[in-house]
Chains A and B, each alone.
Chain A
Amino acid sequence: MKKYIYIISLFFLVSCNENLDMVGMFSGQSPRNDQRFEDSMRYNEKAGYQTITIPQDDYIVYFGTDMHVDSTWRNTQEWATRIENDKDCYFGIILGDMINAQHNFPNFMKGVSYTTKPLFATAGNHDIYFGQWTEYLQYWHTSTYYFTAQTPNYKDLYICMDSGDGTFGRSQMAWLKDILKEKSQDNFRHIVVFTHTHLYKRDSSQGHISNFPLEETYEIADVLGTNGVDWYVSGHAHSRAVSDMKGVKYIIVDTMKDPAKHPAYMTATVGANLDYHFIDL
């Protein structure tokens, strides 16, 4: 009997950790993926899809992820400062898990306020658990959208997907297929899909990190591979990794959280080719 009391007590002690949404393990507290997709589309219809005009054909994009901001935002501030100071960079992309748990978006926003250039974000699981979706919307408005980078001679397409609960869900997946089908006619130089959750992980240096169900993994690989997508960029696993499947490069970017031993971000050099570089903070 003592043994059972010990196990149950341990479970409740873990449940009391304010950074772990144990209820969410059985039922997520934010709206589910299809509802979040509807919220995002409502905003997109009102605000439209952005085009970033870039005065040169070759440019640099900064990708940062998994900042897990609690009370400090040093690395986020440094990342934003480097974006601001890089004359070849015209926007940055945040791959989710900006905050660790509830009520930390104001701190995160202080970090990214060090750049005036546009930032595009998607929701990670930490951004929405504990029912934080409304907080996310307050700052970022949408987690499913696309935007175009228009250079003098080319245009590149960036598609943002919400994978905060480990699936794209039904409506969002249908939207992705439609957008890729429609945009594949438009002669984009590069197509980059970015989201929080990785599709594959080839090493277990950070332990085994959850991702998509297998059926969805195959489907996403096929949809991206048959529609001219160049890169699928994600975070979530906290350590860099690069894989190839069906002609698509799957890139996982390192964590940028302050207590991490080797925080890093990624820059993409976009030109005739797409090249990636991992850069330590």
Chain B
Amino acid sequence: MKDTHTKKSILLIIILCLFVVHTTNAEQREPITLKAYIGYGYNYTYKSYANIDVKAEFNINNNFELDAAVEGCTANTYSIGTNLRPKFALPVGEMYVETKLIYCAVVRNKIHDFNAALSLGYRMDYVNVQIGMFGHLMSDFKRNWHSEDEILTEPISMIYNIEAFVRPQKSIWNLSFRISNFDDYQIERFWQPMFFIGGRCNIKEQLQLLADISFKPAGMFHLDATFYGMEACVGVGWTF
């Protein structure tokens, strides 16, 4: 009985390996894009700061995308984020499911910040919308790992993204306007929307120039909104 179970397990592992090899072969045929940004930001807490971001986008095959991003900020915060995105073509546009994991080491305040999100999205030439749920927890660098007292978990909340493009996706240049409570390195609480304007221009087939501006208000859902911060960055992207 035990032998049968072991054989079944081995067979399952072989099938899984074959699937991975097939996927890897597919990956070699699909493009990988590397993006690098430098940015300047200002907010009430950090005052002026600069950051450097590097992002890799892998089109694993027609049904999977994987992104990984790293950011270092002169405000002494460091973030990594990853998105796994299974996607399904529809007669118009495509639907995707995004799994997002973000970790930020807020070294200046000695706090760990973790986020995990699962969302459903739909994108087409002029629109990209996404809605889902996320969990958030914070912890002191010096916390006692044998105690749960100081891991602060916030209730499961909503992530959202509404993005409009002025031109179709395959255009040489494009401009986008976005309202969302997340970016590659942070998921804000859902009542804390951020506003983004993004630009892209393909200089050559492989080379892109990129630019983003974002604004973060405070107190919008206090019905007493005020400016909190903004960030601007420029970057280049290279598709292999």
Contacts and interface: CB of A to CB of B under 8 A. Distances in A.
Nearest to B222: A125
Interface size class of B (residues with CB under 8 A): 35 or more
Interface of A is mostly: loop
B216 A213 contact: yes
B224 A129 contact: yes
Interface string B84-117: 0000000000000000000000101111010000
The 4 closest A-B pairs by CB, nearest first: A166-B219, A210-B221, A222-B109, A204-B155
A210 B111 CA distance: 21
B224 A165 contact: yes
B152 A213 contact: no
A216 B149 CA distance: 22
B30 interface: no
Contacts of A261: none
Interface in B158-214: 158, 186, 188-192
A209 B223 CA distance: 12
Most buried by A among B106, B149, B153, B186: B106
Interface string A27-46: 11110110000000000000
A2 B109 CA distance: 52
Interface of A: 20-22, 24-30, 32-33, 125, 128-129, 164-170, 173, 197, 200-204, 208-219, 221-222, 225, 243-246
Contacts, number: 143
Interface stretch (B1-9, B32-40, B43-51): B43-51
A201 B153 CA distance: 8
Contacts of B149: 244
25 contacts: A22-B223, A24-B223, A25-B223, A26-B225, A28-B225, A28-B226, A125-B219, A125-B224, A165-B218, A167-B228, A173-B44, A202-B155, A208-B155, A210-B189, A210-B219, A210-B221, A213-B218, A215-B45, A216-B45, A216-B218, A218-B45, A221-B109, A222-B110, A244-B150, A245-B138
A243 B226 CA distance: 27
Interface of B: 43-47, 75, 106, 108-111, 113, 138, 140, 149-150, 152-158, 186, 188-192, 216, 218-229
Nearest to A164: B224
A21 B192 contact: no
Contacts of B46: 215
Contacts of A214: 113, 186, 188-189, 192
